[in-house]
């Protein structure tokens, strides 16, 4: 069972940008209500898509560099990286079915 891993400002380059598979990064913070169910959905997606891509969580509280580099001004926000580039941005809580459609499209 694949699980989302926590990523920090320092490790972002190594663990996300230079990863050899696409990585979905869930930008969240403990103070944010809608981030909680989004986190639960990301956990389920990691379980279902874990063999094809990676799932990371970045707590914007304590990791401001990456959040500001990618212009995160609202959370939850999901960013999917492929070959070091952000391919798709999804802002705000969405139903799981909608996110699955996005991932299916991205993974082709």
Partner 1 sequence: MTMDKAYDVVIIGGGPAGLTAGLYATRAGLKTLLIEKGVIGGQIANAELVENYPGFPDGISGFELGQLMHQQAMRYGLETIGAEVVALEPGGKTRLVRTSDGEYVARAVIIAGGSELSKLGIPREERLTGKGVSYCATCDGPLFKDKTVAVVGGGDAAITEALVLAKLCSKIFVIHRRNQLRASRILQERAFAEPRIEFIWDTVVDEIIGDERLEALKTRNVKTGEVSTLNVSAVFIYIGFSPNTGYLKGLVPLDSAGLVITNERMETTTPGIFACGDIRHNSAKQAITAAGDGATAAMATERFVREQG
Identified binder of partner 1 from the candidate list 11, 29, 50, 106, rule CB under 8 A: 29
Print burial letters for 43-78: b (CB count within 10 Å at least 16), e (below 16): bebbeebeeebbbbbbbbeebeebbeebebeebbbb
The stretch near partner 1 (CB under 8 A) out of 9-17, 18-26, 45-53, 71-79 is 71-79
Give the count of beta carbons closer than 10 Å to the beta carbon of residue 32. Answer: 17
Q: Is 91 in the site for partner 1 (CB under 8 A)?
A: yes
Minimum CB–partner distance for residue 55 and partner 1 (Å): 17
The stretch near partner 1 (CB under 8 A) out of 1-9, 14-22, 46-54, 87-95 is 87-95
Binding site for partner 1 (CB under 8 A): 29, 31-37, 40-41, 60-61, 67, 71-77, 91-93, 95-98
């Amino acid at each position: 069972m694949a699980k989302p891993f926590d990523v920090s400002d320092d490790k972002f380059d190594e663990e996300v940008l230079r990863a050899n598979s696409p990585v979905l990064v869930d930008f969240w913070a403990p103070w944010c209500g809608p981030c909680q169910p989004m986190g639960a959905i990301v956990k389920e997606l990691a379980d279902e898509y874990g063999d094809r891509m990676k799932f990371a969580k970045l707590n914007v509280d304590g990791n401001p560099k990456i959040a500001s580099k990618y212009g995160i001004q609202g959370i939850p926000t999901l960013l999917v990286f492929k070959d070091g580039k952000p391919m798709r941005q999804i802002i705000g809580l969405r139903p799981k079915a909608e996110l699955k459609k996005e991932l299916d499209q991205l993974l082709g």
